[in-house]
Amino acid sequence: MKTIKFQLETLTCPSCIAKIEGALNKEHGVEEAKVLFNSSKVKVKYDSEEVSSDQLEKLIEKVGFPVLSS
Partner 1 sequence: MKAKQINKIMYSAALLLMGALITYLFNWNETVLNTLLIVATLVAGYPTFIKAWKASLMKLFSIELLVTIAVIGALIIGEYVESAAVTFLFLFGAFLEGRSLEKSRSSLKSLMEMAPLEANVLRDGIRSVIKAEDVVKNDLVIIQTGEKIPIDGRIISGRGSVNESTITGESVPVSKDENDQVFSGSILEGGYLEVIAEKVGEDTTFSKIIELVEEAQEGKAKTQRFLEKFAAIYTPGIMALSLLVWIVTQDVHLALTFLVIACPGALVISAPVSIVAGIGNGARNGILIKGGEVMENLSKLNAVVFDKTGTLTQGRPAVTTIKSFGISENKLLTMAAEAELISEHHLGKAIVKEAERNGLELVNKPTDVNVLKGRGIKVNLNGDSLYLGNRKGLFENNIDIDAKVNSYAVKQEESGNTAVFVANRNSVLGIISIADKVRSKAANTIHELKSAGIKHTVMLTGDNEHTANIVGKKIGIQKVFANLLPEDKVNKVKACMGKGIKLAMVGDGVNDAPAIATADVGIAMGVAGTDVAMETADVVLMADNLDKLVYMLKLSKATVRNMKQNMFLAIGTVALLLTGVLTKNVNLASGMLIHELSVLAVILNAIRLVQYKPNTIWERLVLRTQQGMRLISRSISVNSSSFVNKRRA
- The footprint of partner 1 (CB under 8 A) covers 9-10, 12-15, 18-19, 22-23, 26, 34, 36-39, 41, 62-64, 66
Among residues 11 and 46, whose Cβ is nearest to partner 1? Answer: 11
**Rounded distance, CA 22 to CA 18, Å?**
6
Among residues 21 and 53, whose Cβ is nearest to partner 1? Answer: 21
Compute the CA torsion angle 64, 18, 31, 34 (nearest 10 deg): 90
- How near is the Cβ of 70 to partner 1 at its closest, in Å? 15
